[in-house]
Chain A
Amino acid sequence: MSAETAQPGFWTRVQRASVERLHIRLESLLVLVLLSTAMALLSPFFLSLSNFLNILLATSTIGVLAIAATFVIGSGGLDLSLGSVMGLSGVAGAYVAVNLGWPSVFAVIACILAGAIAGYINGQLVTRAFVPAFIVTLGMLGLARGLALVISQGRAIYGLPLEIVYIGQGRPFGVPMPVIIFVLTAIVAHAVLAYTRFGRHTLALGDSEGAARAAGIRVEQHRRIIYTLSGALAGLAGLLFTARVNAGDPTAGINYELTAITAAIIGGTNLFGGRASILGTMIGALIMGVLQNGLTLLAVQSYYQQMAIGAVLILAVFIDQYQVRKESRV
C-alpha cells in the first residue's frame, strides 16, 4: 500500500505528465536530442538550415507512412503493405498523367484512390475473411508491388506535368512542398488520434477489442476505415515521392514499411495496440531521418543504414516491452 500512496519522484511525474498531456514519451525526445548532438559534433555539415530542411524533406515520405502505421498499429492491426502500396500509387498517378494524359488533378486523385482501394481490400479481408492482418498485408505487399510493375511494364514512367512536379520540388517561402504537406497531415492526424472520438475508439479497439465491442463501437467497420485510411496515406506518400523524383517508379518504397513501423514504435506506439500518438511518431520519424542523414554525411555505406534501422526497431520494441512489464499488472 505504501508504494501506492508514496509521492512518485520528479522524473516519474514529468514522464507521466508528458505521456498524459502531450502524448509523447520523453525517452524518444531525449534520444532525438542526443542523436542530433552526436551528429553535430561528428559532422560540420549537420547543423545548418539547409541540412535541417534536407532531413525534413527526406523524412516527409517516411513520415506520412509512419502516420499510417501509427493508426493501424494503435488499433491493434498491422500494415506491411505500406511501401508497396506507396509504389503502386505513384505508378498509378504517373500512368494517369503521362500515359492517359489526363489533367494533373486526376493524377493526384489516382494516387490517393489507388492507395485507399488497396487499404480497403486489406480491411475487407481482415474483418470479413478473418485472415490475420499480418498475412493479408504481407500478401498485399506482393500484390501491389507486382501490379505496379505490370502497369509500368517494369520501367519508371517519366515526364510528369509541372503541377505534379511542383508538389514534390516546389519551395514556397523556401520550404519544400513535401515538408509542408507532411507537417499539415501530421497536425490533422494528431488532432484526430488524440482528441476525437474516432481516435479514442481506435486506441480502445487496439487495447481491448472486447471492451470496444461491449461499449457499442462497430469494431469491424472501424477496422475497415483504419485500413482504408492507411492505404490512402500510403497513396499520399506515393504522390510526394513520385512528384519529388519526377517519375512513377514501380520500385519506389521498397522496405519503407520497415522504417515507417520503426518510427511509429520508437515514438511510443505499442506494437500490440492501445497506445499511440502522432507527435511521438513524428519524433520517431525524425530520429530515423537524423540517423540516415547523419550516416550519409559521415559517408557510411547505405547497406549499414539498413542494418541500423533493423537493429533500432528490435531495440525499441525490447525497451517498450520491458517498460510495459515493469509498470503494468496486466
Chain B
Amino acid sequence: MTLLSLHGIRKSFGAVDVLHGVDLSVAAGEVVGLVGDNGAGKSTLMKTITGIYQADTGSIEFDGKDILALDPGQRRRLGIEMIYQDLSLAKQQDVASNIFLGREPTKRLLGLFPGFVDKAEMDRQAARMIDRLGAHLPSINRSVGSFSGGQQQTVAIARALTFNPKLVIMDEPTAALAVREVQSVLDLIRRLKSEGIAVILISHRLNDVLSVTDRIVVLRHGRADADLVTARTNMNEVVSRIVGGGDIAAAAAHEQRG
C-alpha cells in the first residue's frame, strides 16, 4: 500500500532551481534510502514533505490525502515526523518540553482555568519513551543542551516516535555518532519497519544504507535519477548512479576504502 507519493515536485530558491520534478513513492513499513551528492536536493525534498518548504509545483499525497496545502503542524498530526541533521532541538528546554513541543497536553488549573500545560504527564511519558529506546539520560529535567551528541539525538528520536508516526524521515542520523551508537540507530530503523512504520533514510554512509533499506532512490541534479531494489544492487552500482558516469571505478574504489 502506498503511504506517500510525490509527483513532479519542483522547488527553486530565487534563481536557483533545486528540484526539477521529483517523483517518489514510499509504501507503509518500507525503508527507503535517499542518496545523492551534496547539493542534489535531498534535504530540500524532505522539507517539502514535512511542509517546512512549500513545493512550487507538483503533488504530495500522504495516506490517501492531498497534503500540499497543509502546514508543518498539520502534516505532523497526520503522522509525518522528521529527525533533522542538526536535530532541531530547543537546547535550553528540558527533555519533555522538546518531545512535546507544539503538542503539549493541557489540563485545567484548580479545575477552573483551562489551557495549562500538564508538565507531570509530559515528564512521565517522556521518561517512558526514553526507557523504551533503551537510552540513559543524566536527568529528564535538565536542558538538552547539556547532553552529549548521542544523548541529544536520543531526545530527537524520542520526539519523532512519541506520537505514533506513520513515516519517519531521518536526515543523516548516523553522521555524528560513534560506532556503537550507529548500530543502535540501524537497529531502531529495523524495529520501526517491523512495527509497520515507513522510514526514509538520508545518508552518505552507503554501507548503512545498503544494510538497512528495501529500496534506494538516487537523487541527482534535482531529479530522482534511479530507483534501485536494495537486494538486487551493490555498492558499485549505487556509487555510479550517484556520480553519474565519469570515472565510476575510481569513485567506487574510493567509497569502498571509505
CB pair B146 A327 closer than 8 Å: yes
**Is B164's CB within 8 Å of the partner chain A?**
no
Q: Which residue of A lies closest to B86 (CB)?
A: A210
Interface bracket on B: 35 or more
Of A30-38, A112-120, A192-200, the one with at least 4 CB within 8 A of chain B: A192-200
User: C-beta contact mask, A157-183 vs B, less than 8 Å → 1, else 0?
Assistant: 000000000000000000000000000
Number of interface residues of A (CB under 8 A): 29
How far is A246 from B97 in the complex, measured between Cα atoms in Å?
A: 46
Q: Is A211's CB within 8 Å of the partner chain B?
A: yes
B171 nearest CB across to chain A (Å): 11
* Those of B97-124 within 8 Å (CB) of chain A: 97-98, 101-104, 106, 109, 113, 115-117, 119
Bound-state Cα–Cα, A327 to B72, Å: 33
Asked if B115 and A208 sit within 8 Å, CB to CB, the answer is: no
Assembly CA distance A217 to B97 (angstroms): 14
Chain B residue with Cβ nearest A207: B90
**B73 x A215 contact (CB < 8 A):** yes
A201→B106 CA distance, assembly (Å) = 14
Contact across chains for B52 and A200 when beta carbons are under 8 A apart: no
CB distance from A65 to the nearest CB of B (A): 24
Q: Is the C-beta of A104 less than 8 angstroms from some C-beta in chain B?
A: no
With both beta carbons as reference points, the residue of chain A lying nearest to B148 in the complex is identified as A329
Given contacts A213-B52, A217-B102, A328-B146, contact A200 B117 (CB under 8 A): yes
Determine the chain B residues whose CB is within 8 A of the CB of A216 once the complex forms.
71-77, 102-103
Q: Does A90 count as interface, using CB distance less than 8 angstroms?
A: no
| Given known A-B contacts A197-B106, A216-B73, A204 and B101 have beta carbons under 8 A apart | yes
Partner of A197 from B74, B77, B117 at Cβ < 8 Å: B117
Quick check: B73 and A274 within 8 Å, CB to CB? Answer: no
Q: What is the CB-to-nearest-CB distance from B257 to chain A, in angstroms, rounded to a whole number? A: 33
Q: Which of A195, A200, A217, A329 contacts B73 (CB under 8 A)?
A: A217
Contact A215 B102 (CB under 8 A): yes
Q: Does B89 belong to the interface (CB within 8 Å)?
A: yes
CA distance A228 to B139 in the complex (A): 37
* Chain A residue nearest in CB terms to B73: A216
Cβ-neighbour of B91 out of A20, A208, A213, A217 (below 8 A): A208
B101 touches A330 (CB 8 A): no
List which B46-63 residues lie within 8 A (CB) of chain A: 50, 52
- A73 interface residue, CB < 8 Å from B? no
A204 near B93 with CB under 8 A, answer yes
Complex Cα–Cα for A197 and B145 (A): 21
Would you call A121 an interface residue if the criterion is a C-beta within 8 Å of the partner chain's C-beta atoms? no
Query: Closest CB-CB distance, B101 to chain A, in whole Å?
Result: 4
| B146 contact set on A, CB distance < 8 A | 327-329
Give residues 209-254 of A contacting B (CB, 8 Å): 210-218
Q: Most B CB atoms within 10 A — which of A203, A210, A218? A: A210
Q: Is B88 positioned at the interface, with any CB of A under 8 Å from its CB?
A: yes
Contact of B90 among A191, A208, A329 (CB under 8 A): A208
B72 and A210 form a contact (CB under 8 A): no
Docked-complex contact B91 and A330, CB < 8 angstroms: yes
Interface status of B200 (Cβ within 8 A of chain A)? no
Q: Which residue of A lies closest to B101 (CB)?
A: A215
Q: Are the CB atoms of B72 and A213 closer together than 8 Å?
A: yes
Give the docked Cα–Cα distance between A201 and B103 (Å): 10
| B106 and A208 within 8 A (CB) | no
Q: Is the CB of A212 within 8 A of B115?
A: no
Give the chain B neighbours of A328 by CB distance below 8 A. 91, 143, 145-146
Partner of B92, one of A20, A195, A207, A329: A207
Q: Which residues of A contact B88 (CB under 8 A)?
A: 208, 210-211, 214
1/0 contact trace for B120-141 toward A, CB 8 Å? 0000000000000000001001
Question: Residue among B52, B92, B115, B145 with the most chain A CB within 10 A?
Answer: B92
Q: Give chain A residues whose Cβ lies under 8 Å from the Cβ of B86.
A: 210
What are the residues of chain B within 8 A of A197 when measuring CB–CB?
104, 106, 115, 117
Interchain Cβ contacts under 8 Å between A and B, 25 examples? A16-B142, A20-B94, A20-B141, A191-B116, A195-B109, A196-B115, A197-B104, A197-B117, A201-B102, A203-B92, A204-B93, A204-B101, A207-B92, A208-B91, A210-B88, A211-B89, A211-B101, A215-B73, A215-B76, A215-B102, A216-B71, A217-B73, A218-B73, A274-B90, A329-B145
Which residues in B have some Cβ–Cβ distance to A below 8 Å?
50, 52, 71-77, 82, 84, 86, 88-94, 97-98, 101-104, 106, 109, 113, 115-117, 119, 138, 141-143, 145-148
